Amino acid sequence: MDPVAPAAPDGGGGVTTAPRPVDDASRSGRRLPGLDGLRALAVVAVVVFHLDPGWLPGGFLGVDVFFVLSGFLITTLLLREHASTGRVDLRGFWTRRARRLLPALLVLVPSAVLLARVAEGDLLVGVGRQVLGALTFTSNWLEVAAGTDYFAATSPTLLANLWSLAVEEQFYLLWPLALLLLLRAVRQPEARAATALGLGLGSSLLMALRLDPDAPTRVYYGTDTHATGLMVGAALALALAAPGRAGTSSALWERHRRTIGALSLAVLGALMVLADEQSSLTFRGGILLASLATAGVVLVVVERPGRLRALLELPAARWVGSRSYGIYLWHWPVVLVVGQDIPVAPGGLDYVLTRGWAVLVTVAAADLSYRFVETPVRRLGFGGAFRALARRMRRAGTRRARTVWAVLVVAAVATTAVMATAPDRTATERMIEANEAALAREAAATSAAPTPSATRSPASARPAGTRPTAVDWSMPTGAEVDAFGDSMLVGAKQAMEYYFPKIRIDARSNRRWSEAPRLVGARGDGLRRVVVLAFGTNFGTDARSIERTLREIGPDRMVVVLTVHGRYARAASDNEQLREVVAGHDNVVVADWDRALADTSGMLQSDGIHPSIRGAHLYSSTVRAAMAQLSEHKTGKPVRLKPIPLP
């Protein structure tokens, strides 16, 4: 997610006009109906995705719903002002944006920093860069420059959700100027709409062309590559301002209006259920399709009353929609902090309850922000809101006023101190680096030749013309085990060596299944009779590479393959595919690390991926239990595993 996520756009900064032709809109005092409800759907999708990507794999597309709404509402505002006055007050426009966005943001940032310090120091890695990005609306570009991966959970970013707020603010800065130029250079209203749509299609094309499937964050964060929804929304506003009103006055539109609305909503819902942040199709057309579907819903909802509008105008939907900005700002830091404070792995009721608690905290914080921070500043301006606060404090008495100011000063000093002392790397990163260095030293210190206890050659490896020997399917010792894998195996190094003395481990961060055949093949006949394979955390299951690896190992060695675990959408499908691939191999058993973690607590590092000290022992015991299961299956003899106490 978020794989992540988007900052909910403002409510149009006071846009209260129905999308009639612009000159009519300027005289209307009605709100754009149904759009608060659409915001509610979008923010719910984003929050659900960040609570657990497996619950709604394409929920991150909620950002594109917000982008379409922002493009539509902001362009409507600008067109209305230009039609009524012949100009656009850019200073006033940007001031209104600041009133809408800054107050809640200035409360969130220090609050998130202080809460993260109390919960888990690892959440503060890179926090200085994140705060700078938040206050300058450059989060997206700063994170791209830092090499942040939005869709990886191995190094959670406290303020990752502010990337889209930066994209929107950059749009607010540039689009009014571009729109004025467009209005002056292009006289035909339909041509103006076509130009805006062309810009959106160009952005989508640029995303498709620049996409690196292994590192999609650049095209996802980039303002140039992710402006599709904003420009689609702007094009819709321009089309409705044209004399033909995008064809909504025709008999053809009247006949098919409801069908278009239902189909658009269905497409948007299907994308949120089926889209995958690991699929290149998401970035090569999926985001564009979601933006167009959102535009279809907007067009149907605001054009005239109907069932869809009535649904989106329900009080609950409007309540959530009006607070969508605050909900979006708060939900991601709250999810991270709650996850560290109550570390429960997915798979049971306790995990669902912790997710529910995160939602309650988020909604409460967003409501308080809406009532006491956002609304006063939006109505009174910065100066007026400050003077109103000062009057309240005077009425409350000098003592209370001093207390309030003291709290604010202490919070500011504490936030500065926390930022100054924030770690530059997570504890997980330091542990993995240390373990990788130790593995490299061990590999250099030992001979490539197998030890005598490791050379029980399977039948597939015996020289031609020799007598066949029986394959050994008994429970192995550590000296008979080769393990290959990625950072998960690196993180479990000490525990694996404790459970399997003299095990030979070849593991490194960021490895993928495609490397496994080469690693296994390099052992040649020296490959031990039991092989543990632990890949897939970084780049998913690769069925072809798994098959090649198993063929390289042969049918006469015991093979243990571990499932992956993580709060990302593809984890469940990756594990399902893994089981399907190994199902036809009688010498292979799956060690279900993901299932072993279900509803446990304290088994993972702060990233929610790599095992903690206790978790590494659970990881190793899961591998040992799988070996015993395979041995029993092949020999028909029960294997009794002696308890291994924590050291």
Taking residues 194-210, what's their average pLDDT? 97
Asked if 521 contacts 538 with a C-beta cutoff of 8 angstroms, the reply is no
Within this chain, do residues 54 and 160 fall inside the same structural domain, yes or no?
yes
Lookup: tokens for 199 = 């810009």
Percentage of residues of the chain with pLDDT beyond 90: 66
In a domain, 293, yes or no: no
pLDDT of residue 624: 97
In a domain, 6, yes or no: no
Taking residues 565-577, what's their average pLDDT? 83
Within this chain, do residues 364 and 460 fall inside the same structural domain, yes or no?
no
pLDDT of residue 219: 96
pLDDT of residue 453: 45
pLDDT of residue 558: 97
pLDDT of residue 18: 34
Given a cut of 80, is residue 381 above it in pLDDT? Answer: yes
Given a cut of 70, is residue 17 above it in pLDDT? Answer: no
Within this chain, do residues 389 and 473 fall inside the same structural domain, yes or no?
no
pLDDT of residue 388: 83
- Confidence class for position 490, pLDDT limits 50, 70, 90: very high
Lowest mean per-residue pLDDT among 150-159, 611-620, 627-636: 150-159
Taking residues 558-587, what's their average pLDDT? 89
Within this chain, do residues 471 and 393 fall inside the same structural domain, yes or no?
no
530-534 and 588-591 as β-strands: parallel, antiparallel, unpaired? unpaired
* Residue (of 270, 275, 294, 295) closest to 285 by Cα position: 275
Lookup: tokens for 82 = 């230009």
Within this chain, do residues 468 and 350 fall inside the same structural domain, yes or no?
no
Asked if 18 contacts 277 with a C-beta cutoff of 8 angstroms, the reply is no
> Domain of 510: which CATH number?
3.40.50.1110
Lowest mean per-residue pLDDT among 64-78, 120-134, 375-389: 375-389
Asked if 351 contacts 81 with a C-beta cutoff of 8 angstroms, the reply is no
pLDDT of residue 462: 43
Percentage of residues of the chain with pLDDT beyond 70: 90
Taking residues 583-601, what's their average pLDDT? 92
Given a cut of 70, is residue 26 above it in pLDDT? Answer: no
| Dist. CA 246–CA 239, nearest whole Å | 5
What is the Cα gyration radius of the chain?
A: 29
Given a cut of 70, is residue 39 above it in pLDDT? Answer: yes
pLDDT of residue 644: 87
Instruction: Tell me the HSE value of 370 on the side-chain side, using a 13 A CA sphere.
Output: 20
- Confidence class for position 402, pLDDT limits 50, 70, 90: confident
Asked if 526 contacts 557 with a C-beta cutoff of 8 angstroms, the reply is no
| Dist. CA 169–CA 165, nearest whole Å | 6
Domain count, the chain: 2
- Residue whose structure tokens are 């990788």: 436
pLDDT of residue 418: 93
C-alpha dist (Å) from residue 97 to 133, 168, 320: 17, 10, 20
> With helix as H, strand as E and coil as C, how does 157-182 read?
CCCHHHHHHHHHHHHHHHHHHHHHHH
Among the candidates 393, 420, 447, a domain finishes at 420
Within this chain, do residues 383 and 436 fall inside the same structural domain, yes or no?
no
| Dist. CA 162–CA 644, nearest whole Å | 46
- Residue whose structure tokens are 């209307």: 28
C-alpha dist (Å) from residue 79 to 67, 72, 189, 339: 18, 11, 11, 45
pLDDT of residue 468: 44
Within this chain, do residues 456 and 416 fall inside the same structural domain, yes or no?
no
In a domain, 257, yes or no: no
Taking residues 337-362, what's their average pLDDT? 91
Taking residues 602-617, what's their average pLDDT? 89
Enumerate the β-bridge partners of residue 483. 505, 532
- The helix or strand, by DSSP H or E, that contains position 74, with its residue range, turns out to be helix 62-85
Among the candidates 420, 449, 471, a domain finishes at 420
Given a cut of 90, is residue 449 above it in pLDDT? Answer: no
pLDDT of residue 567: 75
Among the candidates 377, 392, 420, a domain finishes at 420
Given a cut of 60, is residue 154 above it in pLDDT? Answer: no
Given a cut of 80, is residue 222 above it in pLDDT? Answer: yes
What contacts 107, CB < 8 A, 6 or more positions away?
369, 373
Question: What is the domain range of residue 562?
Answer: 429-635
Lookup: tokens for 81 = 């002002």
Taking residues 400-422, what's their average pLDDT? 88
Taking residues 342-358, what's their average pLDDT? 89
How many C-beta atoms lie closer than 10 Å to residue 328's C-beta? 30
CA angle 222, 359, 571 (to 5 degrees): 60
pLDDT tens digits for range 163-172: 999 999 999 9
- Confidence class for position 466, pLDDT limits 50, 70, 90: very low
Given a cut of 70, is residue 22 above it in pLDDT? Answer: no
Would you list the DSSP string of 3-50?
---PPPPPS-SS----SS-HHHHTT-----TTHHHHHHHHHHHHHHHH
What contacts 257, CB < 8 A, 6 or more positions away?
248, 300, 303, 304, 306
Lookup: tokens for 95 = 């001031």
Given a cut of 50, is residue 15 above it in pLDDT? Answer: no
pLDDT tens digits for range 228-278: 999 999 999 999 988 777 666 777 777 888 899 999 999 999 999 999 888
In a domain, 404, yes or no: yes
DSSP state of 370: I
* Residue (of 456, 452, 458, 450) closest to 554 by Cα position: 458
What contacts 248, CB < 8 A, 6 or more positions away?
240, 257, 299, 303
Query: What is the value of pTM for the model shown?
Result: 0.86
In a domain, 254, yes or no: no
pLDDT tens digits for range 81-102: 999 998 999 999 999 999 999 9
| Dist. CA 219–CA 211, nearest whole Å | 6
- Higher pLDDT pick, 452 / 201: 201
Within this chain, do residues 375 and 435 fall inside the same structural domain, yes or no?
no
Instruction: Give the torsion sign (CA, 626, 627, 633, 637).
Output: negative
Within this chain, do residues 351 and 403 fall inside the same structural domain, yes or no?
yes
Within this chain, do residues 391 and 437 fall inside the same structural domain, yes or no?
no
pLDDT tens digits for range 101-147: 999 999 999 999 999 999 988 899 999 999 999 999 999 999 999 98
pLDDT tens digits for range 506-536: 999 989 999 999 999 999 999 999 999 999 9
Average pLDDT, the chain: 87
* Residue (of 43, 51, 39) closest to 346 by Cα position: 51
Asked if 628 contacts 475 with a C-beta cutoff of 8 angstroms, the reply is yes
Within this chain, do residues 511 and 628 fall inside the same structural domain, yes or no?
yes
Asked if 4 contacts 160 with a C-beta cutoff of 8 angstroms, the reply is yes
Within this chain, do residues 407 and 433 fall inside the same structural domain, yes or no?
no
Say how many Å lie between the first and final Cα of the chain, rounded.
37
- Higher pLDDT pick, 16 / 593: 593
2: preceding bond cis by omega (within 30 degrees): yes
